[in-house]
Amino acid sequence: MNLLSLAIYLRNQPVTISITTATATDIPAIAELEQHYYQQEGYPAGFLYQALRQWPAALWVAQNENQLMGYALIAPAQSEQGSAAEPWLMALLVAAAGRGKGIGRKLCEAAINHCRGQGQQGLWLSVAEYNQAAMQLYLSLGFETIELRKDFLGPGEDRLLMRLALQR
Ligand SMILES: CC(C)(COP(=O)(O)OP(=O)(O)OC[C@H]1O[C@@H](n2cnc3c(N)ncnc32)[C@H](O)[C@@H]1OP(=O)(O)O)[C@@H](O)C(=O)NCCC(=O)NCCS
């Protein structure tokens, strides 16, 4: 389903980026993007197929025609901050050639609209303090920093936990 579209310039050519929910045919390209950016730390295809099976409406792709430009994944989770179960943004990744053109923001908006439509109270994510591009995006969308968690993604991988209140 086409949820959003965005007109941008890529290599000086005007193109339209569509944001849709992903299907299984999108997984190889998502896994390739993950491996290209995160190398061995990237989510493998097996995890992404499993995620699509478990949370079929919570994986979005941004595409220029059939070329993957980015993706986002939401997963339900129990908040450690309280009793309410609130979802987490598990992944947000835009291909290097498409960055700085609004694709990350549109993917986040698709995820936020989905969570809001489900009646969720909040949306969580973790981000490295040094990741200024992501931090600025999240702050501009209204996310608030809750705390810095030591070793959140493994030894030495401290992360800021951020939450967006959805039902103000
Ligand atoms: C973070 C990321 C998803 C942003 O995607 P993007 O498509 O480049 O972002 P957008 O063009 O939609 O920009 C949205 C906002 O992000 C911020 N931003 C984006 N790039 C930025 C940069 N290089 N420096 C500072 N802020 C930046 C700005 O606030 C921007 O809003 P503005 O255009 O109104 O100024 C992208 O840089 C990326 O994939 N990074 C690698 C993976 C990653 O770090 N993912 C997040 C993990 S928590």
42 CB near ligand 1 (under 6 Å): no
At 81 the pLDDT is 59
How do residues 60-76 score in pLDDT, each as one tens digit? 999 999 899 999 999 98
131 CB near ligand 1 (under 6 Å): yes
C-alpha–C-alpha distance, residues 71 and 68, integer Å? 8
Beta 122-127 vs 144-149: how paired, if at all?
unpaired
Q: For the chain, which domains are there?
A: 2-165 (3.40.630.30)
What is the distance in angstroms between the CA of the first residue and the CA of the last residue of the chain? 28
Tell me: pLDDT of 99 over 70.
yes
78: its two tokens: 């129990």
Q: Is the pTM of this model over 0.85?
A: yes
How do residues 18-59 score in pLDDT, each as one tens digit? 999 999 999 999 999 999 999 999 999 999 999 999 999 999
Task: Compute the distance from residue 82 Cα to the ligand 1 centre, in Å.
Answer: 29
